[in-house]
Chains A and B, each alone.
Chain A
Amino acid sequence: MNHNTMSAAEAVKAIKKKEIKARELVENAITRLEYTNDRLKSLITITGENALQQADAVDKKVSADEALPPLGGIPLVIKDDLALEGIPNTVGTKALENNYSPFSAEVVQRSIDSGGAVMGKANMDEFGMGATTKTSSYFWSRNPLDLDRTAGEGAAAAVSANQAMLAIASDTGGGLREAASYCGIMGLCPTPGVISRYGLTSFSSSLSEVGLLARKAEDFLLMLDIASGYDPRDFATSALSATSLKDDLIENNIITAGYPTEIWQQVEAPFKDNIENNIELFKNCNMEFQEVSLPYFKAGLLAYYILVISESFSNLSRFDGIRYGYHYEGANLEEWYQKTRKHTFGEEARRRSFLGAYLLNEDNYKKYYEKALQVWTLVKDDFSRVFEKCDLLILPVTRLPAPLLEETKSFTENYQIDEFCAPVSLAGLPSLCLPVSKSNDLPVSVQLVGKPFSEKSLIKLSMRLESEANVSFMPVI
């Protein structure tokens, strides 16, 4: 039985049937970590010992013929902006280097209570600001499929390189989905309110959500059952539990997928051709493409950045090194603040602080912030119109494959990476990205965007597409 190719759902079944032990799974993940983490730099903190203890507890239950918890012994990683009690929660920044969390995020606690074995905390861009890990205060995460390229997120590298079977990670404007597409795995960013954000350190309170990464689509079903549902500590969570999320779409004889040509035309040739040459794949899954138009989609990215830069300025104001986090001494409080924030924030965090303060000042607030709020309405209306005649939308995830790590881009060129994901985040819709083919051995992924709370439909359709596409990727190490 190959631990590296099975899904988490298959592994849980195998543990239940006593075909494998949870300890074997975790030991396999630890071996992969020991062998690959020096090169990949996917995890900032490794908690392998805790994972082994969790696996042993699961094996003990199985030996005693007790009920197996739903995530019994599955190795998973957590992005370093989701709190895990007793472990540093760095959020990718030096400002929080020694920030040992006194509690666990709701979604993390639910996973542990369900038997999940946490392997560690994954590298990320500082405060989540970026899509390459190049703004991380710690290191850059390499892509397991091409070591010269970025993984996008340490969590995606970990799942792709078999250091874990699943990952829990945040997504604000596409980080999780883009990383999944770079690393040849799947990423689910659910409808806002499906997964609690309690314990998530976000740079944008309005737009950051908690999502999931997996190698197989069926594992999202397993994780959603555990992760979704009302949490009194996050007022935005929905009372809908995983069992009431919609999965009716898959019953349709024909699934109408909106295909916005104007957006697909922006994708570079090898990627676009790959999708167009794979039309049969979608037809075989009962999908019928319908031409649609989203005239404000492009402006959505600009509005998104005005909103998140403004919120960054506001959200980062709490990091002053007094109540928690790293600090630099100052002769007075003002000097303490200024030195602490200058020396602990990286370039992008400092930039967003300045730019956010600029966008929100008295002279600019109406021009930029209010304009962005109005464009947000137009973007949401665009999607609502499309969903009157379509069951879902099919969109690109990125214009190009994972960027080369040595490639240098201006900050606005980096913002442009989110062009196909950020407008979907603005619209508050669930999206699932999955690889459907290859271009020069690198994954070509698409993004399925559904109506609110249609996660289960997207997952079940992805299971169908996954089986039909039959595309897999082997890490190079």
Chain B
Amino acid sequence: MKINREDVQNLLQTVKIEGSEKEVEKIIEDIYSLESWLEPLFSIDTTEVLPTVYKYEGNNVQREDKAQQRKNQHKLWEMAENFEEGFYRVPPIIEY
């Protein structure tokens, strides 16, 4: 598939990573390299093959549905630079 610069700009927006013009070129190059490396996969006939979605054998054992207080919740909050009254303070999201 042909990748254009606009596609890559959309990718940058999705992954939330700033990218220069030079980096956009590099990403296009990397996508083509990956696609070419993965090409042998498409010679395998997977018609009628069910996908694996979970690698663990056996049944899922669920714990009792009971509310629990996390012991280290306060310590986790303290890791943030800006945490106030139960909220993480972030830069403005909406411009007035």
Chain A residues proximal to chain B, CB less than 8 Å: 99-100, 102-103, 192-193, 206-207, 232, 235-236, 238-239, 296, 298-299, 302-303, 305-306, 309, 313, 317, 320, 322-324, 327, 329-339, 341-342, 345, 350-351, 353-358, 361, 363-364, 368, 370-378, 380, 410-412, 415, 426, 428, 452
Known pairs A368-B38, A374-B46; A103 contacts B75 (CB<8 A): yes
B69 CB within 8 Å of chain A: no
- A355 CA to B11 CA in the complex, in Å? 9
* Structural contact, B44 and A299, CB atoms closer than 8 A: yes
Contacting residue for A332 out of B8, B18, B75, B91, CB 8 A: B91
* Structural contact, A354 and B90, CB atoms closer than 8 A: no
Known pairs A332-B95, A354-B15, A377-B49; A302 contacts B79 (CB<8 A): no
* Structural contact, A299 and B40, CB atoms closer than 8 A: yes
- A271 CA to B95 CA in the complex, in Å? 63
**Closest beta carbon of chain A to B89's beta carbon, Å:** 9
Smallest CB gap from A452: residue in B = B57
* Structural contact, B17 and A377, CB atoms closer than 8 A: no
* Structural contact, A103 and B60, CB atoms closer than 8 A: no
In this complex, the member of A309, A375, A415 whose beta carbon has the largest number of chain B beta carbons within 10 angstroms is A375
In chain B, positions 11-44 with a C-beta closer than 8 Å to chain A are: 11-12, 14-19, 27, 30-31, 33-34, 37-38, 40-42, 44
* Structural contact, A342 and B61, CB atoms closer than 8 A: no
* Structural contact, A353 and B52, CB atoms closer than 8 A: no
B92 CB within 8 Å of chain A: yes
* Structural contact, A373 and B52, CB atoms closer than 8 A: yes
Q: Which residues of B contact A374 (CB under 8 A)?
A: 46, 49-52
* Structural contact, A338 and B51, CB atoms closer than 8 A: no
Chain B interface residue bracket vs A: 35 or more
* Structural contact, A236 and B49, CB atoms closer than 8 A: no
Contacting residue for B91 out of A236, A331, A376, CB 8 A: A331
Q: Which residues of A contact B56 (CB under 8 A)?
A: 192-193, 236, 428
B6 CB within 8 Å of chain A: no
* Structural contact, A322 and B88, CB atoms closer than 8 A: yes
B81 CB within 8 Å of chain A: yes
Known pairs A102-B78, A375-B44; A370 contacts B63 (CB<8 A): no
Q: Which residues of A contact B49 (CB under 8 A)?
A: 374-375, 377-378
- A298 CA to B41 CA in the complex, in Å? 9
Listed by A's residue number, 29 A-B pairs whose Cβ atoms lie within 8 Å are A99-B79, A102-B79, A207-B55, A232-B63, A302-B41, A303-B41, A317-B16, A324-B79, A330-B91, A332-B93, A334-B16, A336-B91, A338-B16, A341-B17, A351-B30, A353-B17, A354-B30, A354-B31, A357-B14, A368-B38, A371-B46, A374-B46, A374-B49, A377-B51, A378-B49, A380-B52, A412-B33, A428-B56, A428-B57
Q: Which residues of B contact A342 (CB under 8 A)?
A: 17-19
B62 CB within 8 Å of chain A: yes
Q: Which residues of A contact B16 (CB under 8 A)?
A: 317, 320, 334, 337-338, 341
- A452 CA to B11 CA in the complex, in Å? 39
Q: Which residues of B contact A305 (CB under 8 A)?
A: 38
* Structural contact, A332 and B52, CB atoms closer than 8 A: no
B86 CB within 8 Å of chain A: no
* Structural contact, B72 and A103, CB atoms closer than 8 A: yes
**Closest beta carbon of chain B to A424's beta carbon, Å:** 12
Contacting residue for A322 out of B40, B75, B80, B92, CB 8 A: B80
B76 CB within 8 Å of chain A: yes
B67 CB within 8 Å of chain A: no
Smallest CB gap from B80: residue in A = A323
Known pairs A330-B91, A377-B49; A100 contacts B41 (CB<8 A): no
Q: Which residues of B contact A317 (CB under 8 A)?
A: 15-16
Q: Which residues of B contact A299 (CB under 8 A)?
A: 40-41, 44
**Closest beta carbon of chain B to A384's beta carbon, Å:** 11
Contacting residue for A333 out of B53, B62, B92, CB 8 A: B92
- A47 CA to B85 CA in the complex, in Å? 34
**Closest beta carbon of chain A to B79's beta carbon, Å:** 4
Q: Which residues of B contact A371 (CB under 8 A)?
A: 41-42, 46
* Structural contact, A338 and B31, CB atoms closer than 8 A: no
* Structural contact, B41 and A333, CB atoms closer than 8 A: no
Q: Which residues of B contact A322 (CB under 8 A)?
A: 80, 88, 90
Smallest CB gap from B43: residue in A = A299
Contacting residue for B18 out of A103, A302, A338, A357, CB 8 A: A338
**Closest beta carbon of chain B to A374's beta carbon, Å:** 4
* Structural contact, A296 and B44, CB atoms closer than 8 A: yes
Q: Which residues of A contact B55 (CB under 8 A)?
A: 192, 206-207, 376, 426, 428
**Closest beta carbon of chain B to A172's beta carbon, Å:** 12
* Structural contact, B79 and A355, CB atoms closer than 8 A: no
Q: Which residues of B contact A363 (CB under 8 A)?
A: 1
- A303 CA to B42 CA in the complex, in Å? 11
- A351 CA to B12 CA in the complex, in Å? 11
- A28 CA to B61 CA in the complex, in Å? 45
* Structural contact, A376 and B52, CB atoms closer than 8 A: yes
